[in-house]
Each structure stands twice: as C-alpha cells, then as structure tokens.
Amino acid sequence: MTRKGCPNRILWGPAQEKAYQTVRDLMSRDSVLRLPDTAKEFILRTDASDEGIGAMLLQEHGGKPFPVSYASKKLSGAEKNSSTMEKECLAIVWGIKKFELYLQGVKFVLQTDHKPLTYLNSAKFVNNRIMRWVMYLQNFDMRVESIKGSDNVGADFLSRVCE
C-alpha cells in the first residue's frame, strides 16, 4: 500500500465488513481459539512466503491441535531478497521471539514444512545470519518436526496475508 504504483485507497464496503466480522468471530470462538495451558505441550508452526512470514501457536485438546495465538509480519525489502532457507529460518526465529513468553523454559514442538530446517542443530552453515539464528535457537528446548504443507495451512495463510 505504501509502495509506488499501489492504490492509495482500500475499497471497504458492507461486503468486506461482513466478511471481516465473520472471520473475526469464527477465529475467536472457544471452538477455535483456546487459552494457553502451561501443563500441555506447545506446538509452534511457522511458514514463509515471498511477501511475509506467519506463525501459529497451538496446543492439543482431545487429540486435536487448537490455536492459542496467531501472528504474521510483512517482510521488508531486504528480507524479501533473502533465500528461501533464510526466510523459513527467519519465520522460526521471529515466531519463537513472538511467543517467547510461552516457549522459554519449556519443551515444545516446532513444526515446519521446509524439510532442510529439521537439520538445523546438526548442519554446518557457512551463512553467518543462519549461524547466529541457530545459536539463538539453542536456548530453547524444542523438537523439530517436518510436516506436509497441507498440514501447515494456518501458518501458510498467515505468511500470505500481506500479498
């Protein structure tokens, strides 16, 4: 919206307002959004796209994962020029920082659909930025799991909200 050539106005009519209210109501219902329970394990799902990054904090209730919180961020110009690996790693670091209050000092599961990131602790990187992020991530007690992209719909959607 702030870049040259983008429209300066957002057309927001009754249809857009109704859709917004419906989505907001659905996402805040008890059947969808849950309060965090410190006795249960947290699950963090992250994803990156060309325009943004997204993260979902979840916990299992009755064997099904339910969201505790959502977060997304539009990438800066420099961040957009990063490699896919760097964007996905940025999404993880940003997601952990966003939900650090819940994740510091507890075991949690990090789920990503970018399989190379499952080897973060054992791989040797020549990229200094990723190396710094790996050192930061070592402060957390997490198990990294690879999931199918079709199972990472929430974080994927959040990373594309800015497009």
- Please indicate, yes or no, if residue 72 is contained in any of the structural domains: yes
Rounded to two decimals, the pTM is 0.75
How far apart (Å, rounded) are the C-alpha atoms in residues 34 and 56? 12
Whether 127 maps to a domain, the answer reads yes
Predicted confidence (pLDDT) per residue in 26-71, tens digit = 777 656 778 899 999 999 999 999 999 999 999 998 888 999 999 9
Range of the domain at 105: 34-160
Residue 124 is part of a domain; what is its CATH number?
Answer: 3.30.420.10
Tell me, yes or no, whether 15 lies in a domain.
no
pLDDT digits (tens, 9 = 90+) for 68-101: 999 999 999 999 999 988 999 999 999 999 999 9
Average pLDDT on 11-33 reads 79
- DSSP code for 116: G
Instruction: Evaluate whether residue 23 is within a structural domain.
Output: no
Residue 65: inside a domain: yes
Residues 137 and 123: beta-carbon distance below 8 Å: no
Residue 15 clears pLDDT 60, i.e. is over it: yes
- Distance of CA 42 to CAs 57, 75, 92, 102, 132, Å? 7, 26, 14, 8, 24
* Count of domains forming the chain: 1
Averaged confidence pLDDT in the chain: 84
Q: Are 46 and 54 in contact (CB under 8 A)?
A: yes
Q: What is the pLDDT of residue 118?
A: 65
Terminal alpha carbon distance of the chain: 10
Q: How far is CA 142 from CA 84, 107, 109, 124, in A?
A: 22, 5, 5, 19
Q: How confident is the model at residue 9 (pLDDT cuts 50, 70, 90)?
A: low
Do the domain assignments include residue 78? yes
